[in-house]
Amino acid sequence: MMLSIEKLRKAFPLEEGELVAIEDFTLDVKKGEFICILGPSGCGKTTILRIIAGLDTQTSGKISLDGKIIKGPGSDRGMVFQEFALFPWRSVRKNIEFGMELRKVPVKTRHETSQKLIELVGLEGFEDAHPHELSGGMKQRVGIARALANEPDILLMDEPFGALDAQTRNMMQKELLRIWEETKKTVVFITHSVDEAVFLADRIVVMGERPSSITEIYDIPWERPRERASMEFANLRKEILAKLEMMVRPE
């Protein structure tokens, strides 16, 4: 397994007692697999991603990547955020090269790597553009390229298309699948959109309300690209939506 999460628990201290956000979350992710995590708002999806990234720590449980225990941030994990998180004063190329600069990668290698990634994400001609000159979809392409620049073993994506309009979002989903198929990276993708999860994932992990654990895992064996208008797509989307609605239904 590329990623192994065993009995993950995350609790936040309160003045009296604690707030348990995640309880007994266990998941194995295969190398090259595309996993989507769904669940009600506030169920801890982003918290899990941050713990995998090493940006937060679990209360108990164990997480390992390629057999090595995760104890903090590392270049073996690439993170793509919803809010783009680009440096406004740096060009597309310079944003992509930022991590390589920190690692003291030679200038020639940085330039060659960034150019390959610029071509991979379809931003040829925008090498010297700055974030304010880019559309939302283009900014997220830069974010994906920057995450890939460190050659991570796994790509962690926290609702990366959540701020985009519907048309751009659909286009970026297709682009992400193209990039994933070319790079063969393992992906853990957080989303609120059932449609997005069914379109993208090999497996969909559904979390329950707080304290959250896995309530269901859906394996999707269908070939890509997937047709959103197909009966099987619509039926699975309806089934998952019904499950999510039951979780938040008032008593």
pLDDT in tens, 168-185: 999 999 999 999 999 999
13 inside domain = yes
pLDDT for 47 equals 93
Number of structural domains, the chain? Answer: 2
Residue 138 shares a structural domain with residue 171: no
pLDDT for 250 equals 52
83 inside domain = no
Residue 137 shares a structural domain with residue 23: no
Residue 163 shares a structural domain with residue 120: no
pLDDT, tens digit (0-9, with 9 covering 90-100), for 10-53: 999 888 888 899 999 999 999 999 999 998 888 889 999 999 99
User: Residues 6 or more apart from 130 whose CB is under 8 A from it?
Assistant: 88, 89, 90, 91, 92
**Residue spans of alpha helices (H) in the chain:** 45-53, 92-102, 107-120, 136-149, 166-183, 194-200, 231-248
pLDDT for 162 equals 86
Residue at which a domain ends, from 126, 151, 176? 151
81 inside domain = no
Average predicted confidence (pLDDT) for the chain = 92
199 inside domain = yes
Residue 147 shares a structural domain with residue 175: no
Closest CA to 19 of 6, 32, 10: 10
Residue 33 shares a structural domain with residue 130: no
pLDDT, tens digit (0-9, with 9 covering 90-100), for 129-155: 999 999 989 999 999 999 999 899 999
64 inside domain = yes
Residue 135 shares a structural domain with residue 156: no
The fraction of the chain above a pLDDT of 90, given in percent, is 77
82 inside domain = no
Taking the whole predicted model, whether its pTM rises above 0.75 is answered as yes
Residue at which a domain ends, from 119, 151, 183? 151
pLDDT, tens digit (0-9, with 9 covering 90-100), for 25-34: 999 999 999 9
Looking up residue 71, the CATH number of its domain turns out to be: 3.40.50.300
Task: Judge whether 78 and 71 are in contact, CB under 8 Å.
Answer: no
Residue at which a domain ends, from 109, 135, 151? 151
pLDDT for 15 equals 84
Written as six digits, the tokens of 219 are 């394996």
Amino acid code (one letter) for 11: A
Does residue 7 carry a pLDDT above 60? yes
39 inside domain = yes
Please give the Cα distance from 230 to 228 (Å, whole number).
6
Residue 54 shares a structural domain with residue 168: yes
Closest CA to 20 of 191, 169, 215, 208: 208
52 inside domain = yes
Question: Collapsing DSSP states into helix, strand and coil, what is residue 244?
Answer: helix
Residue 135 shares a structural domain with residue 158: no
Does residue 65 carry a pLDDT above 80? yes
Residue 121 shares a structural domain with residue 227: no
pLDDT for 188 equals 97
Which of the four pLDDT bands, split at 50, 70 and 90, describes residue 116?
A: very high
Residue 171 shares a structural domain with residue 72: yes
pLDDT for 82 equals 80
Residue 55 shares a structural domain with residue 24: yes
Domain hosting 54: range is: 3-76+152-248
pLDDT for 251 equals 46
Residue 156 shares a structural domain with residue 191: yes
